Structure 1
Amino acid sequence: MNGLPFALVLASILTHAYWNYLIKRSEEKHVFTALSKIAEIVIFATPAIYFLSITDFKISFLFLILVASIITFLNYFFLANAYKYGELSLVYPISRSSILFLPILAYLFIGETIDSIGIIAIVFILLGTFIMHLDSFDRNGIQNIATNINNNGSIYALIAAFTVAGYTLWDKISISKMEPFLYFYLYTFVICCIYNFFIFSKFSKNEIKNEWINNKSRIIQVGFFNSFTYILILIALTMSKATYVGGLRQLSIVIGAFLGYKFLGENLTKPKIIGILISVIGGSLIYLAK
């Protein structure tokens, strides 16, 4: 993997872990996320208008945007549900495990292949994620792994990971056909409309108002860092394989686990620490992959 896309993904994992931490700290996860999409649309409206004015917009772009909107909305929906039931340091690594699905999807749909170092890197990342679910390394810890995984937080997080693989691959295809920022902004706009329709039909005006009053600064921050983070990823996707970009993003689990431990009082057990280290080794090997 070349140095520039590698550096862009590394930068994105810091901001991605941070805005996920902010969502975890919110009171009503779905309301918070929906309001952050409004903030996102407002913050980036000016550059979006500029790119729209210089783009020869084609009808076929609408299909690309619609599919991306649906997949990404599902990711936000399942991620918000995962944070309702699970700890940040456990849910976040699973939700970033798109590498479970991405190599197969990328091969089937765009014929993307990876070398032997890339395969080893992915195995390390998956192994690290699995170890993080252990309570301990003794017999009881291993026996309890099924219980740790079989809970609502982990199940929703795993579904979220599948949607990440889906939109990463779809984005790789789409940005070869239209301008990356405009593509991202327009499908974010659609998601904003869908999510807020869902929120305003399910929650009372007082609940929505209170979430804004109590978390205004955090909502705006998520709105900014969400777009900023994924713009970096889109640029990296234009220069590297989707599997490697998706795999390297797994390194954000290190930041997520630290934030959960430092600020949310979550336990940082020995298996979590070792699992993180193994995943980091796997992510680092991606730099050597071709």
Structure 2
Amino acid sequence: MDTLPFALVLTSIFTHAYWNYLIKSSQNKHVFTALSKLAEITIFSIPAVYFLMTTGFKMEFLLLISVAASITFLNYFFLASAYKHGDLSLVYPVSRSSILFLPIIAFYFIDERIDIVGLSAILMILLGTFVMHMESLDKRGIQTIVKNVNNKGSAYAILAALAVAGYTLWDKISISKMEPFLYFYLYTFLVAILYNTTTFLKFDKEEIKKEWSLNRSEIIQVGFFNSFTYILILTALTMSKATYVGGLRQLSIVIGAFLGYKLLGEKMGLPKVIGIAISVVGGSLIYLAK
């Protein structure tokens, strides 16, 4: 993997872990996420208008952004639901496990192939995620995996990971057909409308006003860092394979687990530490992959 896309993805893992921490620390996850999407499309509206005026809009773009918006909406819904039922340090690694699905669908849909180093890196990252779920490094620890999978938080997180794999591949295809920022903004706009419509129908106005009052600054930060993070990813996707970009993004589990431990008081046992270490080594190997 070339140095520039590698560096862009590494930068994105810090900002991605940070805005996930902010969502986890909110009171009403769904309302917080919906309001952050409104903040996001507001903050980036001026550059969006500029790109729309300078690059133009074609009718074929409607399909690209509609599919992206649908998959992204599902990801946000699953992610918010996962945080409602599970710890950040458990949900976040699982939700970032898109590489469980990405190599297969990338090969099938765009004939993307990875070398032996890349395959080794992916397997190490998956192993690291598996170990992080163990309560202990023995047979009893392995049995906890089954228990965690049956947990609603983990189940929603797996669905979120599948959605991430889907939109990563779709993004790779779409940005070859239209300007990356405009593509991202337009489907984010659709997601914001869809998410807020369902949120305003489900929750009363007082609950929405309360979340905004309590977490105004955090909502605006998530709105900014969400777009900023994914612009880095889209740029990296124009220069590298989707599987490697998706795999390297998994390193954000290190930051997510640390934030969960340090700021939210979540547990950080030996299996989680070892799992993180294995994932970091695997992510580092991606730099050497072709």
TM-score range, shorter chain: over 0.9
SS of alignment partner, residue 54 of structure 1: helix
Residue 56 of structure 1, CA deviation? 2.7
Residue 204 of structure 1, CA deviation? 0.1
Distance 1:145 1:107 in 2: 28
1:195 counterpart letter in structure 2: Y
Q: Which residue of 2 aligns with 1:56?
A: 56
Distance 1:251 1:50 in 2: 34
SS of alignment partner, residue 112 of structure 1: coil
SS of alignment partner, residue 72 of structure 2: helix
**Contact persistence 1:133–1:149 (CA under 8 A):** no
1:191 counterpart letter in structure 2: V
TM (norm. structure 1) is 0.99
Residue 261 of structure 1, CA deviation? 0.2
Which portions of structure 1, spanning 4 or more consecutive aligned residues, are displaced by more than 4 angstroms? none
**Contact persistence 1:122–1:247 (CA under 8 A):** yes
Residue 264 of structure 1, CA deviation? 0.2
Q: Which residue of 1 aligns with 2:206?
A: 206
Structure 2 unaligned spans of 5+: none
SS of alignment partner, residue 135 of structure 1: coil
Over aligned residue pairs, what C-alpha RMSD do you find? 0.5
Q: Is 2:87 the partner of 1:92?
A: no
Q: Which residue of 1 aligns with 2:269?
A: 269
**Contact persistence 1:92–1:256 (CA under 8 A):** yes
**Within 5 A, what are the aligned runs for 1:127-206?**
127-206=127-206
Distance 1:145 1:53 in 2: 51
Distance 1:86 1:223 in 2: 23
Q: Which residue of 2 aligns with 1:35?
A: 35
Residue 138 of structure 1, CA deviation? 2.4
Distance 1:257 1:197 in 2: 32
Distance 1:212 1:144 in 2: 38
2:52 counterpart letter in structure 1: L
Residue 268 of structure 1, CA deviation? 0.3
Residue 215 of structure 1, CA deviation? 0.3
Residue 149 of structure 1, CA deviation? 2.1
Write the deviation string for residues 113-163 of structure 1: whole angstroms up to 9, x where unpaired: 000000000000000000001000123222222112221000000000000
2:260 counterpart letter in structure 1: G
**Contact persistence 1:36–1:223 (CA under 8 A):** yes
Q: Which residue of 1 aligns with 2:71?
A: 71
Between Structure 1 and Structure 2, how many residues are aligned? 290
Distance 1:276 1:169 in 2: 25
Residue 256 of structure 1, CA deviation? 0.1
Distance 2:160 2:4 in 1: 27
Distance 2:163 2:115 in 1: 24
**Contact persistence 1:95–1:160 (CA under 8 A):** yes
Distance 1:269 1:149 in 2: 19
Q: Which residue of 2 aligns with 1:20?
A: 20
Q: Sequence identity, in percent?
A: 73
Between 1:258-267 and 1:143-152, the stretch displaced more is 143-152
